[in-house]
């Protein structure tokens, strides 16, 4: 097909779908940019776009599941019965075997735009550790290195970026020499994007040659793993389990033998860690069961009445919050993709920079359009035997989301110090504390020193006495 025919074909599809504005500046573009724009339009899925416009752009989706939602069962963080104790021991053993056999890969989703934090560049490059100011990328890299040594195997790291931050992310790794990791064990891949819409369903142009588009959400990872060849790479390396986490949570326990082991023993296809919410309406997804299937329902979709319901013992009926930590079987990702799956679409009203009908750049100060995305937890109801494992917030969840206040870097740093202090205290080290109970010192434990409280025990002799006001870095 020559350029003319290609243009005609594209223009007809756009006109038929009421999106002719995308070619408004075509005549003003040089030839290479014309091809570039046509290629973007050809990638738009017009079998879905009219449906999305009706369902999510012009009409906000109404969630009705809340009425039939039941609480989801979960494994406790610590076993409470003898049978559970035995199962946990078996799971830890199985998880350790799988880790030692190199069957578990690390997988971080880092394709988000991090708009709330407002940091320039990929969020993984945000400095967070309390003394050394290590970035999130560095902390995870050191964790993977240390775990590789602990389990006597190379552990691979898969990193999902987006077309908006892929290059910058790779450059950061290059200039930091992969933080000591072997380059051959680090695999970057890009997620897909979805177009941005005005409130009346028109796709926006970012500039005359580019459609306004944003990453397709962390749910895009399940397709991108497959499409990018990451899954094939995992298969070639004999990897069967994917340990999934978000770039913003430095407390994550990436290689948790108990979690991996429970997932494997129960024959789960996808599993999740959960914590007990700090308040009924905490801004995390809620675990529930619908027709026997585990789902995560967004906090905004759980009516207050449901969110506040309590059990006889006073605890919340829907107490389990999602913290975006999963084990996903590679076979499950393959099965989904072979079957042509589609995750539900979610809408978010956002400020979207674009050009207007005269071609002038517009940077809105108020939300002016809709971005669409998919969420990884929406794959849980498609998975067989999902395990939900409760965890303890102070041990595993301190995401950096906002510049100030809740989930801000200050809070995360304090939680990193608190956890380190707790690990030392658990081995009998005296940690000076302020009257309010917080450590009266700054402690940073490098992954090379310990990956868990258990690891600290073995190195107790190397920990010096700590006085009030001290800064202690253990490596």
> Where does this chain bind ligand UTP (CB under 6 A)?
109-116, 123, 160, 162, 191, 215-218, 220, 246-248, 373, 401
Phi-psi region of 429 (alpha: psi -120 to 50; beta: other; left: phi over 0): beta
- Distance of closest approach, residue 407 Cβ to ligand UTP, in angstroms: 9
- Distance of closest approach, residue 150 Cβ to ligand UTP, in angstroms: 25
What is the C-alpha separation between 352 and 194, in angstroms, rounded? 13
| Cβ partners under 8 Å of residue 258, min gap 6 | 88, 91, 92, 95, 389
- Distance of closest approach, residue 69 Cβ to ligand UTP, in angstroms: 22
Residue among 34 and 123 whose Cβ is closer to ligand UTP:
123
Residue among 191 and 412 whose Cβ is closer to ligand UTP:
191
Residue among 160 and 345 whose Cβ is closer to ligand UTP:
160
What is the C-alpha separation between 251 and 136, in angstroms, rounded? 10
Handedness of CA 396, 398, 401, 406 (dihedral sign): positive
Q: Residues 114-125, buried b or exposed e (16+ Cβ, 10 A)? A: beebebeebbbb
What is the C-alpha separation between 254 and 386, in angstroms, rounded? 18
Q: How far is CA 86 from CA 171, 366, 465, in A?
A: 47, 56, 37
Residue among 234 and 323 whose Cβ is closer to ligand UTP:
323
β-pairing, 193-195 vs 197-198, is unpaired
CB 320 within 8 A of CB 276: yes
**Both structure tokens of 363:** 């940077």
Residue among 323 and 456 whose Cβ is closer to ligand UTP:
323
What is the C-alpha separation between 94 and 306, in angstroms, rounded? 38
Residue among 95 and 219 whose Cβ is closer to ligand UTP:
219
- Distance of closest approach, residue 221 Cβ to ligand UTP, in angstroms: 7
- Distance of closest approach, residue 348 Cβ to ligand UTP, in angstroms: 8
- Distance of closest approach, residue 33 Cβ to ligand UTP, in angstroms: 26
CA 381 to chain centre: 18
- Distance of closest approach, residue 405 Cβ to ligand UTP, in angstroms: 13
Closest-by-Cβ residue to ligand UTP is 112
Residue among 131 and 139 whose Cβ is closer to ligand UTP:
139
């Amino acid at each position: 097909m020559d350029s003319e025919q290609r243009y005609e074909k594209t223009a007809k599809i756009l006109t038929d779908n009421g999106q002719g504005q995308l070619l408004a500046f075509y005549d003003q573009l040089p030839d290479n940019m014309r091809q570039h724009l046509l290629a973007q339009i050809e990638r738009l899925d017009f079998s879905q776009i009219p449906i999305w416009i009706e369902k999510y752009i012009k009409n906000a989706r109404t969630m009705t599941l809340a009425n039939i939602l039941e609480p989801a069962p979960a494994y406790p963080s610590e076993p409470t019965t003898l049978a559970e104790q035995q199962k946990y021991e078996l799971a830890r053993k199985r998880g350790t075997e799988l880790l030692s056999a190199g069957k578990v890969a690390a997988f971080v989703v880092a394709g988000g735009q991090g708009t709330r934090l407002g940091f320039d560049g990929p969020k993984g490059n945000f400095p967070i550790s309390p003394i050394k100011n290590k970035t999130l990328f560095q902390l995870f890299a050191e964790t993977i290195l240390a775990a590789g040594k602990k389990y006597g195997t190379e552990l691979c790291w898969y990193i999902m970026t987006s077309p908006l931050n892929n290059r910058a992310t790779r450059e950061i790794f290059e200039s930091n020499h992969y933080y000591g990791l072997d380059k051959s064990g680090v695999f970057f891949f890009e997620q897909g994007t979805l177009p941005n819409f005005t409130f009346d369903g028109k796709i926006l142009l970012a500039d005359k040659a580019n459609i306004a588009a944003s990453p397709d959400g962390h749910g895009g990872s399940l397709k991108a793993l497959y499409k990018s060849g990451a899954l094939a790479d995992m298969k070639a390396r004999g990897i069967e389990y994917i340990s999934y986490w978000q770039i913003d949570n430095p407390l994550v326990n990436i290689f948790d033998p108990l979690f991996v082991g429970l997932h494997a023993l129960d024959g789960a296809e996808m599993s999740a860690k959960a914590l007990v919410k700090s308040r009924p309406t905490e801004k995390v997804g809620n675990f529930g069961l619908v027709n026997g299937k585990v789902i995560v329902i967004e906090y905004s979709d759980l009516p207050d009445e449901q969110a506040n319901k309590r059990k006889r013992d006073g605890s919340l009926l829907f107490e389990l919050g999602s913290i975006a930590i999963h084990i996903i079987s590679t076979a499950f990702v393959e099965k989904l993709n072979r079957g042509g799956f589609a995750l539900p679409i979610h809408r978010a009203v956002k400020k979207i920079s674009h050009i207007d009908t005269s071609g002038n750049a517009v940077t809105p100060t108020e939300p002016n359009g809709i971005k669409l995305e998919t969420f990884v937890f929406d794959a849980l109801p498609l998975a067989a035997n999902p395990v939900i494992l409760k965890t303890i917030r102070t041990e595993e969840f301190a995401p950096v989301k906002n510049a100030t206040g809740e989930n801000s870097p200050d809070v995360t740093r304090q939680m990193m110090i608190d956890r380190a202090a707790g690990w030392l205290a658990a081995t009998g080290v005296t940690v000076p504390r302020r009257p309010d109970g917080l450590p009266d010192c700054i402690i940073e434990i490098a992954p090379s020193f310990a990956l868990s409280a258990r690891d600290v025990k073995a190195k107790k002799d190397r920990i010096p006495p700590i006085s009030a006001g001290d800064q202690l870095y253990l490596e």
